[in-house]
């Protein structure tokens, strides 16, 4: 059984998609064993508790330095004995020590078709604002492995989503979540849990 730790900062809609996919048999051979948030007010914590999943708050403001926070984050992962770390809207830079310790075992969901609209500064609504400003006709989401860069690791899955006339960043964000993020993130976890190769 693949032991999954999910890192979240906000509402936890991607976490919910993972939990629903496990409950619905879309993800087989994996379980979420820990949810970690840098934000004590994240609704994702409540989602974890409703599923009886241990939830941990590891926030930078609780520590004297960034290094102490980084060490605490890595220690939490180690204590939970996770096999795979899933970044599901986690708005904190992953420490290099964690990337090294969990090499090729950290994945992230990003709300664009990488290499478009990714990298430093591209997160949340900012991604969709940039896509609309550029006038693209297609956007989407990408699941990729995490390396030392920002959104630069190997791509695992992508799914395209149509941009429609009259879209606002909020409307586009919702469509990308529903049609892409909530589909390919569970799919990626299932692939890793069952050693299925991407086509």
- Domain of residue 51, CATH code: 3.40.50.170
Virtual torsion, Cα 13, 15, 16, 18, nearest 10 deg:
130
State the residue range of the domain holding 43. 2-193
- Pick the catalytic residue: 51, 110, 128, 144? 110
Let me know if residue 198 belongs to a domain.
no
Residue 89 covered by a domain: yes
Looking at the domain assignment, is residue 74 inside a domain? yes
Q: What is the pLDDT of residue 197?
A: 79
Structure tokens at 142: 């990408």
- pLDDT value of residue 170: 98
Total domains present in the chain: 1
Please give the radius of gyration of the chain, using alpha carbons only, rounded to the nearest integer.
Answer: 16
Per residue in 138-196, pLDDT (tens digit) is 999 999 999 999 899 999 999 999 999 999 999 999 999 999 999 999 999 999 999 98
**pLDDT at residue number 54:** 97
Known active-site residue 110: yes
* Residue 186 · residue 27 · CB < 8 Å: yes
Positive/negative CA dihedral, 22, 23, 28, 29? positive
In a domain, 98, yes or no: yes
Q: What is the pLDDT of residue 130?
A: 97
pLDDT of residue 184: 98
Kindly give the parts of the chain with pLDDT less than 70: 198-199
């Amino acid at each position: 059984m693949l032991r999954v730790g999910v890192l979240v900062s906000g509402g936890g809609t991607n976490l919910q998609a993972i939990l629903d996919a496990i409950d619905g048999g879309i993800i087989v051979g994996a379980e979420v064993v820990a949810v970690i948030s840098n934000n004590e007010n994240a609704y994702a914590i409540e989602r974890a508790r409703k599923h009886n999943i241990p939830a941990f708050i590891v926030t930078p403001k609780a520590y004297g330095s960034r290094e102490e926070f980084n060490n605490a984050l890595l220690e939490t992962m180690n204590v939970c004995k996770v096999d795979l770390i899933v970044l599901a809207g986690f708005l904190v830079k992953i420490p290099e020590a964690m990337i090294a310790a969990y090499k090729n075992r950290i994945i992230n969901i990003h709300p664009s078709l990488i290499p478009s609209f990714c990298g430093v500064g591209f997160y949340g609504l900012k991604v969709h604002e940039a896509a609309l400003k550029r006038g693209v006709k297609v956007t989407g989401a990408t699941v990729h492995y995490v390396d030392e860069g920002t959104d630069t690791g190997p791509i695992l899955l992508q799914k395209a989503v149509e941009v429609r006339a009259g879209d606002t960043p909020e409307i586009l964000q919702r469509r990308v979540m529903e049609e892409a993020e909530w589909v390919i993130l569970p799919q990626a976890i299932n692939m890793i849990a069952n050693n299925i190769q991407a086509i």
